[in-house]
Structures are given as C-alpha cells and as structure tokens.
C-alpha cells in the first residue's frame, strides 16, 4: 500500500527558460518563490501541516498538495490524499507526506528536487487495517521536466473574484520528457511558509517503507 502511494506521488513539471534562482523567466509571469497549493488551499507547507519536533501531522479539512520554494534553492512539499470506501464509510484510507531539501534548475530547463533523506515522513491511516496508523521515513527525488507560471483570471479558491498566479506542473513521462499535467497550484503565500530549510535529523539507515524515525540534530 505504501509503495503504491509513493508511486502516485511522483510529480511534476513546468516550462522554464533561464538559470538563476528568483528570476522571472520569459515564459513565466512571476518567479517560482512562494507557497503554492492546489484546490481550496487547505494543504500547505510549514508547521501547520507537519511538526518536526513531535513528528505529528495535522490533517487538513480537504486533500491536496502544496509546494514551497525559496529564492536561494530550497523546497518543501506537503501532500494529503484521501480514498473513501463506499461500502464501509469508516474504512477510508488517508496518507500524509512531508519532505524538504534543495532544488536546482537544470541546463535543459527541467527542475530537480533533492530531499534531505533523513527528514521526510509519510503517515498512512487506515482504520480497518491491522495497524490503524503507520509512520514511515519518506525520501522521493523528483524531476520536473516542464512547468509554467501564468495568471489565472478566475481561480476557483477565490470566492470574491480577482486573479491569482497559477502554476502547472507535469509528471516525468520518462527520458526527461513531460508527461500528464498535475492539478493546478495557486500562489497562496509569498514569502513562503516553510519549516527551517536546513536538515533537521541525523541520517537514518532504514529506507522508505521501514518504520522508525531519525534522531533530531543537536
């Protein structure tokens, strides 16, 4: 179950021309820095989603994905997925994941997200499973072959009208080519809402799918 969930997290991409952080590129109406969120914007990065001291997640009211980027090359991601069971309402499956690390703009205009291996976590909640709540270390490199930032004149999350910056990301379709587009994210905070951008935990020996947690750095 965990590995199929991790596979579904493989993200994304957008169109980029240029090579310096914080730059507004020719095909983008603004820079990438800030916090971006899908849908209603309830899923966001930062302490409101994951507490690295207690290693606890706070479940948002709706599912979604959030990415944050800084001008100096750091990123953070938060994802919450929920799958209902129409036969037995209480037997839903939910998963929350968080990770952060460094990102780079590549020469071919793709974007590479390299997480701090010890810091990422995913929590799987399944009330009808043998173990109701499971916590795992999570570290997933992401290649974003293509992405695009534009102005959305009618963002769905903004009931009062007005426009907002939107970003479309694409799956890695293989061989560095862009696959299908993911759900649109809108800029919801600038500067970004993020946890400290340094590595928070010591390296761990267990890989994704193995239970346990790293030790906090002193």
Give the pLDDT of residue 3: 53
The model's pTM: 0.81
Give the pLDDT of residue 199: 95
Query: Who has greater pLDDT, 152 or 1?
Result: 152
Give the pLDDT of residue 213: 44
Please compute the mean of the pLDDT values over residues 81-93 and round it to a whole number. 88
Give the pLDDT of residue 171: 87
pLDDT at position 135 over 60: yes
Give the pLDDT of residue 112: 96
Give the pLDDT of residue 168: 92
pLDDT tens for 9-36 read 443 333 333 333 444 355 789 999 999 9
Query: Who has greater pLDDT, 72 or 6?
Result: 72
Domain spans, the chain? 2-189
Please compute the mean of the pLDDT values over residues 74-83 and round it to a whole number. 97
162 confidence band (pLDDT: 50, 70, 90): confident
Rounded distance between C-alpha atoms, residue 76 and residue 25, angstroms? 21
DSSP secondary structure string for all residues of the chain:
-HHHHHHHT----------STT---TT-SS-S-EEEEETTS---SSTTTEETTTTEE---SS-EEEEEE-TTSEEEEEEEEEE--SS-TT--EEEEEEEEEEEEE-TTS-EEEEE-TTT-EEEEE-TTSSSSEEEEE----EEE--EEEEEESS-TT-TT---EEEEEEEEE-STT-EEEE---EEEEESS---S-SS--B---SS-TTSB--PPBP-
Please compute the mean of the pLDDT values over residues 149-172 and round it to a whole number. 84
Question: Any idea of the CA torsion for 182, 177, 10, 112, to the nearest 10 degrees?
Answer: -110
Locate 47 and state its tokens: 């302490």
**Mean of the per-residue pLDDT values for the chain?**
83
Please compute the mean of the pLDDT values over residues 129-148 and round it to a whole number. 91
Give the pLDDT of residue 1: 53
């Amino acid at each position: 179950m965990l590995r199929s969930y991790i596979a579904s997290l493989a993200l994304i991409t957008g169109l980029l021309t240029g090579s310096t952080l914080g730059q507004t590129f020719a095909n983008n109406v603004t820079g990438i820095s800030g916090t971006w969120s899908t849908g209603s914007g309830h899923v966001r990065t930062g302490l409101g989603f994951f507490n690295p001291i207690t290693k606890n997640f706070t479940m948002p009211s709706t599912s979604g994905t959030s990415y944050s980027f800084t001008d100096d090359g750091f990123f953070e991601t938060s994802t919450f997925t929920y799958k209902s069971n129409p036969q037995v309402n209480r037997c839903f499956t939910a998963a929350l994941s968080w990770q952060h690390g460094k990102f780079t703009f590549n020469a071919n205009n793709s974007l590479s997200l390299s997480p701090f291996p010890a810091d990422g976590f995913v929590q799987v909640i399944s009330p009808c499973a043998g173990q109701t709540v499971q916590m795992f270390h999570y570290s997933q490199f992401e290649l974003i072959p293509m992405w695009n930032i534009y102005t959305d004149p009618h963002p769905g999350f903004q009931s009062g009208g007005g426009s907002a910056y939107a970003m479309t990301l694409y799956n890695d379709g293989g061989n560095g080519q862009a696959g299908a587009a993911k759900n649109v994210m809108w800029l919801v905070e600038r500067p970004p809402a993020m946890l400290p951008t340094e590595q928070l935990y010591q390296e761990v020996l267990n890989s994704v799918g193995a239970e346990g947690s790293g030790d906090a750095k002193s």
